[in-house]
Structure 1
Amino acid sequence: MERVVDADTYEVATAGGRARVRLLGVDAPEADQPFGPEATALVGALLRRQYVWVQVRGRDLYGRHLAAVRLRPAAFSPAGPVALDSVLVVRGWAWAYEPDRATARRLAEQQLAQRTGRGLWQCPQPIEPRLWRGLDTETKRRNRGGCPRLQASR
């Protein structure tokens, strides 16, 4: 792993140089969103100077490689590699997200994180990144620290 751009986007070293990878299975808070810096820091700590398994499954509209990322067994468990998307969801730093189909296992992990108030689930109604990206600058500024508070439209 070369660089963590944010909690679900990374730059990885390849035989041909460098590639930008978008993690499949989750949608993590944006860098300017509540809990975005914490989620990014967690991923940075997990991946610091580590080799990871990256299985590319396509490209997105921005040209990033869509991929599953697995942590080396020694990083977590002697049982085998651990899915990074699972770690993020269980710890409450990302939403379970599969554009084409719901992944039952990730949804169950998200429900556990919600019930136990982990990470972004400390907030009663965290704003999903896909909605956050569409907010105006003033609304984002008001909601940067802590739990978001969207005001009703007038």
Structure 2
Amino acid sequence: FRPTLLLLVFGCFLSGCISLGEVDVPVSSFAARAEAAAQAARVVRVVHADTYILMVGATTYRLRLLGVDAPETTQPFGKQAMDSVGRVLRAGRVVLVAKSGYDLYGRTLGTVLLPTGTTTAAGRPVPLDSLLVSRGWAWAADERRARPRLYAEQLSAQQRGLGLWKCGTAEPVPPHIWRGFNAKVKQLYRGGCTW
């Protein structure tokens, strides 16, 4: 190739008249799609077992994890779930985040992937929603049931008596129901089983 011809071909490539062809990578799983759309963020702190303060550059934002619902911190198992997640998401840890809009409270909704030190055998990052449900730290809460894997992981955690399910499946009250209880009813659910 002559240098001028090489520059012409390179310039044409940059302007879009020549391409290397589109690479279609089939993305079949939710985690793989999230990984493809993810950006790196640094953990500032865990607010709640399913809500975190993250930082990208100099900007911080509150992220609510999609697909799960963790117990409220005032609810039985809530503080333990938050502490358990806090051990995984220590301040300063870098995670991958795929954002999916906002909720009614202005929180960013999204998926968190753990890229370092917690990878599967295939070397893929571990979805945090999966980790929470499989360890019994949260309920699967995928309203459209687009991720049946979470429900299978919850069933497995229930059968093994992990986390929330230590004393059976009848004891834990999902957070969306807990929030509707008055103080007197909440008091009825405070005794019994401990983490």
Fold conserved between structures, TM > 0.5: yes
Query: How much does 1:53 deviate?
Result: 0.6
Question: How far 1:15 moved relative to its partner?
Answer: 2.7
What secondary structure is seen at the aligned counterpart in 2 of 1:70?
Answer: strand
Residue 120 of structure 1 pairs with residue 151 of structure 2: no
Query: Does residue 183 of structure 2 align to residue 137 of structure 1?
Result: yes
2:151 aligned partner = 107
Specify the code of the residue in structure 2 equivalent to 1:25.
G
Counterpart CA distance in 2 for 1:108 and 1:75 is: 20
Q: Segments of 4+ in structure 1 off by > 4 A?
A: none
Identity, % of aligned positions: 49
Higher RCO (C-alpha 8 Å, min separation 6): 1
Calculate the TM-score normalised by the size of structure 1: 0.89
**Contact 1:39–1:93 (CA<8 Å) still a contact in 2?**
yes
User: Gaps (5+ residues) in structure 2?
Assistant: 1-42
Contact 1:89-1:95 at 8 Å conserved across structures: yes
Structure 1 partner of 2:105: 62
Larger Rg: 2
- Cα deviations by residue, 1:78-99 (Å, 9 ceiling, x for unpaired): 6221000000000011111112
Aligned to 1:21: 63
Unpaired stretches in structure 1, ≥5 consecutive residues: 149-154
Contact kept? 1:8, 1:23, Cα under 8 Å: yes
The one-letter code matched in structure 1 to 2:154 is: Q
- The CA distance in 2 between the partners of 1:146 and 1:87, in whole Å, is 26
CA distance in 1, matches of 2:146, 2:193: 26
Q: What is the TM-score of this pair, normalised by structure 2?
A: 0.71
The aligned amino acid for 2:97 is V
Number of aligned pairs? Answer: 148
- The 3-state SS of whatever aligns with 1:2 is strand
Contact kept in structure 2, 1:56 and 1:65, CA below 8 Å: yes
Between the aligned partners of 2:161 and 2:138, the Cα distance in structure 1 is 13
Matched, 1:85 2:129: yes
Q: Over the residues paired in the alignment, what is the CA RMSD in angstroms? A: 1.7
